[in-house]
Amino acid sequence: MTPLDLRTHRPRGPRETILGFYLLPRTIDKLRAELPGGHLGPYLNHDTGFSAYLVRRLGLNMDELRQVVARAPDETAVVEWLAARVDAASAPGHNAKLETIVVERMKPEDQTLVRQRHPVMETQAGLSKILDILDADDEFSVGVN
């Protein structure tokens, strides 16, 4: 796959889907940004982040997915690999769970981490749902179209 430069191009939004799952397109975009010639820009790809959370919930290994993205000729190959490993019928349940994740219900240390990683929360009162925070962060990120 071709690498992405997330300094000039946003990853796909958190509610965009692959196989019906929120965050999967965004996760693939961030993994493509890790490829040689790519750049994560203002984005993060930590094993404590929401992409990693989704990958774990799907029963996948992030390092294995990272290798699949690095070797794949295109996104179709990645989707085929995913389709052989995840139950697309479970997507609505996963998405519903992601829609319910709000900062106020997290452990205090996780709340602090989210606020540090997503400074948009300081400028937009009322942001609480994680998916909304990620959307707002994309708009907030300077220099990202």
Per the domain annotation, does 57 fall within a domain? Answer: yes
CA nearest 94: which of 47, 49, 57, 62? Answer: 57
CA distance 112 to 2: 34
Per the domain annotation, does 62 fall within a domain? Answer: yes
Q: What's the number of domains the chain is made of?
A: 1
Per the domain annotation, does 93 fall within a domain? Answer: yes
Per the domain annotation, does 3 fall within a domain? Answer: no
Residue-range definition of the domain harbouring residue 130: 17-140
What is the gyration radius of the CA atoms in the chain, in angstroms? Answer: 15
pLDDT tens readout for residues 25-79: 999 999 999 999 999 988 888 887 889 999 999 999 999 999 999 999 999 999 9
CA nearest 67: which of 78, 55, 52, 79? Answer: 78
pTM of the model as a whole: 0.91
Per the domain annotation, does 1 fall within a domain? Answer: no
pLDDT of 27 reads 97
Mean pLDDT rounded to a whole number for the chain: 92
pLDDT of 117 reads 87
pLDDT of 142 reads 54
Confidence of residue 130 (pLDDT cuts 50, 70, 90): very high
